[in-house]
Structure 1
Amino acid sequence: MSEGGVKRAASPTRAISPPPLRRKVATVTKKSVANFFTPASQKKPEPITWRILGTSLIVGKYVPEKSAPQTVSEQARRIASFDLDSTLIKTISGNTFPKSPKDWQWWDPAVPGKLKELNSEGYQVVIFSNQKMIKVQKDIKHGNSESKSLSNFKEKMTAVMTQLDIPISVYAATTDPEYRKPRLGMWREFQDDYDLDVSGIDLKGSFFIGDAAGRPGDHSNVDRGFGTNAGMVFKTPEEFFLAHPPMEVPEIFDPESYIKSAPGSPRESESFARKHPLELVIFCGSPGSGKSTYFWKNLEPLGYERVNQDILGTNPEARKSLPGIAFADYGRRYQAPTLDEGFEDITPVEFEFKGTDEEKELWRQYWI
């Protein structure tokens, strides 16, 4: 140090280290110690359990800590079932898809109180939701046991069910069309999980609430179709939670109306007859409309040969299941053939159901 008592300036080239951090002392509570040594059989069960079926169905079940154990009753159960997005919850951000697991709020302030009321009245409350954006596959690249989209969904649903704090389950279908609404894969899984084949379901006293109702502006009518397929009463969130009158819906395809009820129905088609030794018959119809079935039943016995994309193999996409939007596009672009195009005759073929009662039940359902 110099005579003036002035300290030497620090060298600008010398590394300046931050002060050392104090080591945090980990504390262990008596509760955590006791829980660690408690036998598994004596530990309290977790309120939420999750399981994955294949790569297409996510099932979460919430049982409150003070909930009475479920008993098998001989009385038919009433089911209060709901869609999730735009029915029970909506995003805070206003986006169609949430930005994060915390980007949600109740669709209306009346929602949680209404669900708790239904539980107190003896309804089994359950959520059925199509969640195509969720990837069930594990995130191996980043060393995670599950994908980020699945983790986010679990976190969000844990918050939703915890706030409700009533016995409730959520079924979320990702990619497999058999589980996705309007098909009944989720509904059947729910019946198995709750042993409802024992007590049965009071379908007249049960209902399904969803926003995809086929109204102008709705993205689809899969919720209405799901409720109809299951045999439950269907309502929109506005009708159920806000007591709005039902909105008029444009005429929706009704598969029931296309099933022949009895022999001699006006829909019954006439038998096909060959008119010339050499003929070319062209079928005009969308995928799944019955062209192949008609050929095998009416033309193949008469010696006709069949040519299509399935046989030629020129279009690999021809064998894939199509979404509802594709059929809507077919309907929009369809132009009925005319004699002016050079055809000798045009024969409309009305749909005529032939099959067992079990097959008829399948034909009565909505599939897309």
Structure 2
Amino acid sequence: MISWEVVEGTLLVARYAPEGNHDEIKKPSPNETRVAAFDLDSTIIDSKSGIVPNGDPDDWKWWQDNVVRKIRDAHLSGHQLIIFTNQGNLTTPTGELGPRLKHFGMNLGIRFYTPEEYFQGIIGQILGHKFNPDWSITPEVEARINKNLTELELFDLSKASHTGHKLTSAGGNVIIVFVGLPGAGKTTFFNIALNFGVIRLNRHDLGTMENCMEKAEHCLEGGFGIVIDDCNLDKSSRATWIDMASRLNVPVLAAEFTTPSDLCLHNDSTGPKGRQIFPRTKFRELEKQLEAPTIEEGFSEIVKVDFEWVGTRTELDIWRRYWI
């Protein structure tokens, strides 16, 4: 008998119990730690016709003749069997599957085997990393977390060497234009390092570009500095703010976020629970539009903002898993 459960609207779980146990299908107890987890397509089963995806429910075969025996052996040795699949959305190739499944296993803390290795005993090529979040965690970050430094202690704006100090040293009336892809850390940087003395403006929050410009001009006329927290990827999108700065006779600075694109995608995937992830196709389109800001555009200064991870040990343990 099979029971079905939808978890938080994003995960469909099927649980199977042999006949005779159908009165109650028990969920695994917390003490059950032996797990044998398998991908479905091209691991346990394959298409008989070779057509994928295929709407025919009978168009399948076991991937290898010994698949059933190996899975039965895992069950008899006390492993709980789990099959993962993404039938609802994964309809086109999304890159090399092996490294992504290896990262999935690493996130769960279980050993990863390729189908050839597990079912056939063939040791294949060791899978490497195209992207590893740990590449962005320096020894200084680890030391800071171990010392439990607060965000304010970390971002001491009194230090002339700090990026936030460079951006706010121009004084009251100033336009700071953020330039960076989604997930580059723009809003996080503002909340930690610039959230004193300048006002954050975002076109999405204000509804239209016209509303954003009207609010910006009102703030500047009142003597406040403003931060334009949007992507501002190309010259044309930045020209609006450069022209406003020229007309109101205020300095305009660019904060260029240098976070690599794969790290941006990773950051975007680890956002608050329930927040919609930025569409990947749209992200790659934006990546092609990115133009580095220049003094020739009319900026008074360009300050590069390199990625620096900030948070607690618990937050880091979640962030450093593989999410893309």
What band does the TM-score fall into relative to the shorter chain? 0.5 to 0.7
The corresponding residue for 1:363 is: 319
TM norm structure 1: 0.53
CA contact (8 A) 1:227 1:234 kept: yes
Asked whether the 8 Å contact 1:50–1:61 carries over to 2, the reply is yes
Q: Name 2:180's counterpart in structure 1.
A: 285
Instruction: Tell me the residue number matched to 2:48.
Output: 92
> Contact 2:295 / 2:302 at 8 angstroms: preserved in 1?
yes
Contact 1:98-1:104 within 8 A present in 2 as well? no
Partners of 1:78 and 1:123 within 8 A in 2? yes
- Inter-partner Cα distance in structure 2 for 1:111 and 1:246: 18
In structure 1, the residue matched to 2:4 is 50
Q: Report whether the alignment pairs 1:113 with 2:5.
A: no
Q: How does 1:132-211 map to 2 (within 5 A)?
A: 132-133=88-89
Verify the 8 A CA contact 2:145 2:313 in the aligned structure 1.
no
Match of 1:201 in 2: none
Distance in 2 (CA, whole Å) between partners of 1:275 and 1:123 is 61
Residue 15 of structure 2 aligns with an amino acid whose one-letter code is K
Residues 45 and 60, structure 2, Cα contact 8 Å, conserved in 1: yes
Deviation at 1:307, TM superposition (A): 2.2
* Compared CA separation, residues 325 and 117, structure 1 to 2 (3 A): farther
Kindly indicate which of the two structures has a greater share of residues assigned to strand: 2
The partner residue of 1:294 within 171, 189, 213 is: 189
State which structure, 1 or 2, has the greater radius of gyration over its C-alpha atoms: 1
2:34 aligns with: 78
Residues of 1 paired with 2:313 and 2:73: CA distance? 39
Query: Once superposed, what is the RMSD of the aligned Cα atoms?
Result: 3.8
Instruction: Please say if 1:258 is aligned against 2:141.
Output: no
1:260-318 Cα offsets, whole Å, 9 max, x none, are 211399x998242234344332222222221112112222313x222223223249xx9
CA contact (8 A) 1:92 1:103 kept: yes
CA–CA separation in structure 2 for the residues paired with 1:55 and 1:99: 24
8 Å Cα contact 1:88-1:111 kept in structure 2: yes
CA displacement at 1:352 relative to structure 2: 2.5
- Which residue of 1 is the match for residue 261 of structure 2? none
Deviates further, 98-107 or 236-245: 236-245
Structure 1 counterpart of 2:203, from 301, 306, 309: 309
TM-score normalized by structure 2?
A: 0.60
Q: How many residues align?
A: 237
CA distance in 2, matches of 1:295, 1:221: 34
Amino acid at match of 1:280: I
- Structure 1 spans left out of the alignment, 5+ residues: 1-46, 134-173, 175-211
State yes or no: 1:131 paired with 2:87: yes
Question: Mean alpha-carbon deviation: is it higher for 251-260 or for 82-91?
Answer: 251-260
Find 1:227's aligned residue among 105, 127, 130.
105
Preserved CA contact (<8 Å) 1:285 1:291: yes
Change (3 A) 1:56 1:298: closer
**Given the alignment, which residue of 100, 112, 122 partners 1:244?**
122
Residue identity (%): 35
The aligned amino acid for 2:199 is E
Rate the CA distance shift 1:244–1:281 in 2: closer, same or farther, 3 A. farther
Distance 1:84 1:71, change over 3 A: closer
Cα offset, 1:132, TM superposition: 1.8
> In structure 2, how many angstroms separate the alpha carbons of the residues matched to 1:92 and 1:218?
22
What is the aligned counterpart of 2:164 among 264, 272, 292?
Answer: 272
Letter in structure 1 aligned against 2:10: S
Deviation at 1:245, TM superposition (A): 3.1
Residue by residue over 1:1-33, the C-alpha shift from the partner in whole angstroms, topping out at 9 and shown as x without a partner, is xxxxxxxxxxxxxxxxxxxxxxxxxxxxxxxxx
1:93 and 1:99 in contact (8 A); partners too: no
Distance in structure 1 (CA, Å) of the matches to 2:127 and 2:288 = 19
1:228-273 C-alpha deviation (Å, 9 max, x unpaired) = 22111223223322333343546422223323211399x9982422
